[in-house]
Every structure is written in C-alpha cells, then in structure tokens.
C-alpha cells in the first residue's frame, strides 16, 4: 500500500471523531439555527397579537428570533411598521360608492384566504357570501382557538424540557437560556403597537356594505354588512402605521438582548440536544401559528352568516347578490367585467341604475317634505 494512502487513516479517524462529537453535543449548530426563519416569527406574532389579555401573545421561543429582531428594528426605524403586509392579494370595494382600494391589511387578507364556502368544491362561476357584523362581540378582539392554546402549551412544554438537564445533570444553563428566551419573546409580542397597527380603523357609525375579493378571475366574494357596528374595513385595508418612539426604543433594546442571548447560547458545552429540541418545538409552533387556517372569529372578525349565493355564471351570481344587498353587483361589475358587458347584461345594468335613481329621488323628496 502506498505511504500516502496510509497517512489518510488518522485524518479519517479524526473526522469521524468530530462527527461523533457533533452528534453527541450539537452546540455549534445552535448558533447557526438561531439566525434563520425570521419571517416565520413575524407572521406568527401577526397572527396571535392581541389575542390574549394584558398583551399576552402566545408565540413560542424558537430559532429565528435573532434574525427577526434586527429585521423588525430596521422596519421600526424606517417605515415604522411591525405588522407584515398582507400575504393574500385582494381588494376592498365599497358597495355604495363603488370605490375600490388595494387591501394591505394582514387580518383582512387572512379572512379572505381562510374563508370557506360549501361551493368551493365547484371552481366554476362565482360564490358571493354575505355576512353581517355581530353586535354582541367587538371587532378586533379575537376568539381563542386551538392555535392560541397550542402556543400556550408549547411554552409550558419548553419550560418542562429545560428543567430536565438541571434535574439530571445539575446543568441550569439550558433552563436559564430557555426562560430568558421565552421572556424576550413575550415582551416582543406585547408591544402595544402590534394591536394598534393591526386594528387601526375608525368605528362604524352608519350602515356600510363592503366587498372583499381577490379581483377579476376570483371565484369568491365576501360581502360584510356593518349596520352601525364594528370597524371601518376601508380604513383597515389601508393598514395605517401607528409609529411610536417607544416601539423604536424597545426594538433596539430587544435586538441588543437577543445578541447577548446568542452569545450565551454559544457557551453551551453540554446538553445541547435539549436546546435543540426546545428550539425545534418552538419552530413547529411558529410555523403552525403563521400558516394555519383560522376562523373569522379567531382572526378578530365576528360575523353572522346571512346568505350564500353561487352560480356557474359570474354575472348571474352578481344579479342574485344584488337582489339580496343593494350595490353589490353594481360595484363589482367593473371588477369582474373590465372589458364591458353583453347587450342583455348592459340592459339589466341600465334598468337597475334607473330604478335606484328613482328610489333615491323619491327618498330625497320625502325628506324635504318632512
């Protein structure tokens, strides 16, 4: 055997020893994992912010918080935002004025994304779902669902796992890292701007009918009737920024503390698998919170179903919806038919417009006489 080949054996043995040591105590991987997944963390907080009392946001400690802390610091200093933009492209249309605007609201986008209709198995045509805003529950106060309690349970399980090294090996470092991480997570989610920015809208003081849809080519429309209750969805769609100096200061402090936390994680010599399990469990919870479909109530919209209209022909569905709620079809026809209507459809539109003009004129005359 050539001498050069013999010299490779000690190197191979050393490599296998390093690999074995890494699997026995993967402390080097922890510092790398803590800087991935920042976007998932932001979406998880956006989903659960404002769900609990005293600004409690049940998002678990996980990998990605270091990366998230610096991205949110940049956003807070720059555009002043904490909430991510809507991940469901959609538009909001006022049924009375016909004015439409692009939806930038995270909760409104998720309301449309997670909306379910019994007609969804039929991809043809259009489904128009009409809801009224509940008068018994205030908008912007989400119901607690399984996603919320999953976060609470994950935090509890993480704390229990972190105690095991202390009980078995007298190693309290894992417990200290975990509890400090959970504390920083809860403080990050408790910033008041989360709730203020998420529900930045005026209260409804009169009757409003708002249509929410993905636009031309979409198979569904949500019509929300606010009869003097709830919040103005057009305000919500603009996603107004509630910039505060307190948020900028707190995000800077939290980013600094997360760097300190990362240095402490790098000091872990033993029982790194416990931290890996804690962080992995938290990452699973973050992924579930960020992406799981939720009910309208869990998102903060308390709606009561009125009607569900479906037709294989888009125009027919709009005509049926117009018979149930005035202005729905007239405001949505420019959205779904930007190229114009057929002769019989144009005749229906003209007749309906003339009918409404007469009704409005009669109402104005009655008000003048009274």
pLDDT at 28: 59
Determine the distance from the C-alpha atom of residue 200 to the mean position of all C-alpha atoms in its chain, rounded to a whole number: 15
| pLDDT score for 56 | 92
Query: In this predicted structure, what is the pLDDT of residue 1?
Result: 45
Q: Is 341 exposed, middle or buried (0-12, 13-18, 19+ CB in 10 A)?
A: middle
**Angle in degrees, CA 200, 115, 227, rounded to 5:** 55
pTM for this prediction = 0.86
Look at residues 128, 56, 100, 3 and name the one whose alpha carbon lies nearest to residue 338: 100
Q: How far apart are the C-alpha atoms of 225 and 62, rounded to whole Å?
A: 40
pLDDT tens over the chain, length 370 residues: 454 454 445 555 554 445 455 545 555 556 666 666 678 999 999 999 988 777 899 999 988 888 899 889 888 888 888 999 899 999 999 999 999 999 999 999 999 999 987 776 677 889 999 999 998 898 889 999 999 999 999 999 999 999 999 999 888 999 999 999 999 999 999 999 999 999 989 999 889 999 999 999 888 999 999 998 889 999 999 987 777 889 999 999 999 999 998 888 887 777 878 888 898 899 999 999 999 999 999 999 999 988 899 999 999 999 999 999 999 999 999 999 998 899 999 999 999 999 999 988 888 888 888 7
**221 touches 332 (CB < 8 A):** yes
What is the DSSP-derived secondary structure letter of residue 141? -
Q: What distance in Å separates the CA atoms of residue 329 and residue 48, rounded to the nearest whole number?
A: 35
pLDDT at 181: 94
Q: How far, in Å, CA of 253 to CA of 60, rounded?
A: 20
Q: Is 220 in a helix, a strand, or coil?
A: strand
The whole-number pLDDT of residue 6 equals 46
Give residues with Cβ within 8 angstroms of 357, minimum separation 6.
Answer: none
């Amino acid at each position: 055997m050539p001498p050069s080949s013999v010299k490779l054996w000690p190197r191979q043995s050393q490599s296998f020893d390093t690999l074995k040591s890494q699997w026995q105590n993967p402390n080097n991987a922890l510092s790398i994992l803590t800087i991935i997944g920042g976007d998932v963390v932001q979406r998880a907080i956006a989903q659960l912010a404002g769900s609990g009392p005293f600004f409690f946001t049940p998002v678990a400690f996980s990998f990605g918080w270091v990366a998230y802390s610096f991205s949110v610091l940049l956003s807070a200093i720059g555009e002043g935002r904490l909430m991510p933009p809507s991940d469901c492209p959609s538009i909001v249309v006022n049924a009375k004025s016909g004015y439409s605007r692009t939806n930038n609201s995270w909760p409104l986008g998720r309301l449309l994304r997670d909306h379910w209709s019994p007609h969804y198995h039929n991809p043809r045509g259009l489904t128009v779902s009409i809801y009224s805003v509940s008068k018994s529950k205030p908008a912007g106060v989400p119901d607690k669902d399984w996603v919320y309690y999953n976060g609470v349970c994950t935090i509890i399980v993480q704390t229990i796992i972190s105690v095991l090294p202390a009980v078995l090996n007298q190693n309290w470092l894992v417990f200290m890292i975990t509890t400090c991480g959970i504390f920083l997570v809860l403080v990050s989610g408790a910033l008041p701007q989360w709730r203020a920015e998420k529900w930045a809208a005026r209260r409804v003081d009169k009757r409003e009918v708002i249509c929410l849809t993905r636009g031309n080519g979409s198979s569904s429309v949500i019509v929300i009737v606010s009869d003097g209750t709830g919040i103005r969805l057009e305000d919500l769609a603009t996603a107004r920024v509630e910039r505060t100096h307190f948020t900028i200061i707190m995000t800077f402090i939290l980013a600094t503390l997360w760097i300190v936390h990362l240095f402490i994680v790098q000091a872990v010599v033993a029982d790194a698998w416990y931290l890996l399990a804690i962080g992995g469990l938290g990452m699973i919870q973050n992924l579930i919170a960020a992406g799981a479909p939720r009910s309208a109530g869990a998102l903060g919209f308390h709606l009561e179903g009125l009607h569900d209209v479906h037709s294989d022909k888009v125009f027919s569905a709009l005509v049926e919806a117009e018979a149930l709620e005035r202005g729905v079809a007239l405001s949505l026809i420019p959205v779904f038919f930007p190229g114009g209507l057929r002769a019989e459809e144009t005749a229906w539109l003209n007749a309906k417009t003339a009918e409404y003009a007469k009704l409005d004129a009669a109402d104005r005359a009655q008000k003048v006489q009274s």
